[in-house]
A and B are shown apart, each in its own frame.
Chain A
Amino acid sequence: MTMARRGEVVKLERVLGGKDLGYLDALDAAGLHALREALSAILFDDAKPVLQRVATASKLLPVSLVAKVGERVFGATLCAQVTGLLAPSYALDLALRMSNPFLASVSAMIDPRSAGKVVAAIPADRIIAVAAVLIERGDFVTMARFVDYLSPATIGAVIESVANELHLLQIGAYVESRTKLRELIGQLALERTRKMLAALRGTDADRWLEALAIAEALDDESRGKLGDIAAELEPEVMRALIAVAKRHGVWESALMFADAMSEVGKRKFFALVHEATEATEAAEAGTLPEAWTPTAGSESFPGSLCRRCTFVRLVQATRSEFIMCTEPTLPKYGPQPVRACRRFVPA
């Protein structure tokens, strides 16, 4: 399951009351997103007349009482639904009277688009306090949903307050807007980026898959910076990435990550891939590139025999081209240039 789909499943489960969504396996992330939007509108429209009256009635009571009743009686789901129907200044007044754990619960249920103005007006220290509760609950999806609605200064303050770099990674993996994700990564200090990538070494595959999902969403320049930082770290970090790429079949993502690196970074990465390949059985050679040959320019190794062979497949990455062999008994990515080959068949 892709990270985008995983995020959509979590959000849709909340809309549909936490039921198992196995019957929606046929939908990809975009389909689940469209379904969630439609269902949120349907379910909200059903309740809107009553919720609107609740919003009107709340103005007849002192704001302190409404905040108290909202938190103790109404609960997070209903408060989340009513918020978008209140004047932003009134909703803000109510929110500031509620506890941080309750605001965290409301955040998980609210549609950020309907409460964007309220969220944006909440002081940074309250946002940080609520973020701390969400992190404690492991609710990175909710945090990611609000990144779009917070100012760069508030985002910076939240980043500062999050002590564990892997938590930042988990938030980043679920951010929907690529522009905001770039901003988020851009705000991360070099030292913290290093720590985040170094911490990946000792984690499970999920964290690496999240890191690759983030790398995919970035532009070439940002991705290249991340890649070069990873390449500068101890080789165990890259070895861990290569192991995940092999185990989970995410070579395309790993290749995209490597492709954006500087030549030095690429050489380190490919050397480790080669090392990993040598350690595997020959039978596995077909699933793991035996040797990567980084190239610059679209016409790499023009003199290679592969270029004239029927078994060649040219794999285009953003800045490099990889020569792949489709002959079943040979390694997919052999050392280049090839001068002689027993399986050569002219194209």
Chain B
Amino acid sequence: MATQRIDPLAKEPGLADAPAWLTALAPDDRATLLAAIETERARRATELRSAIDAALEHVPWLLRVALRKVLFP
């Protein structure tokens, strides 16, 4: 029985509708694109958290506590 290969990009909500331009990509290239999105997503999340932690070091202790409550409720 033939198995249908699931488009890996279907897992990505913003690209799930598979716009016409995506059909130009081979399945392997789509998988590479999905991996690149995941890598960039993780990199940005880490960068954002590190930057916030570093920024908080620059403000007085009391204000830091208040800011942490705003930033990480």
Residues of A within 8 A of B (CB): 15-17, 19, 23-24, 26-28, 30-31, 34-35, 38-39, 41-43, 45-47, 50-51, 53-54, 56-57, 60-61, 65, 68-69, 72-75, 77-78
Contacts and interface: CB of A to CB of B under 8 A. Distances in A.
A135 B63 CA distance: 40
Nearest to A40: B14
**Chain A residues touching B, majority SS:** helix
B12 interface: yes
Contact of A50 (B24, B48, B59, B66): B48
Given A34-B19, A75-B51, A42 B12 contact: yes
Interface string B61-73: 0010011001111
Nearest to B13: A42
Contact of A73 (B39, B43, B55): B55
Nearest to A78: B51
B47 to A, nearest CB: 7
Contact of A46 (B24, B25, B44): B44
Contacts of B67: 57, 60-61
A34 B20 CA distance: 10
Given A26-B26, A50-B71, A75-B51, 11 more contacts: A16-B37, A23-B25, A23-B29, A34-B21, A39-B37, A50-B52, A60-B63, A61-B59, A69-B58, A72-B58, A77-B47
Given A35-B21, A60-B66, A42 B48 contact: no
Given A60-B63, A60-B70, A17 B55 contact: no
Given A42-B12, A78-B47, A16 B36 contact: yes
**Chain B residues touching A, majority SS:** helix
A43 B44 contact: yes
Given A35-B21, A42-B14, A53 B40 contact: no
Nearest to B30: A23
B1 interface: no
B10 interface: no
Interface in B7-32: 12-15, 19, 21-22, 24-26, 28-29, 32
Contacts of A43: 37, 40-41, 44
Contacts of B40: 15-17, 43
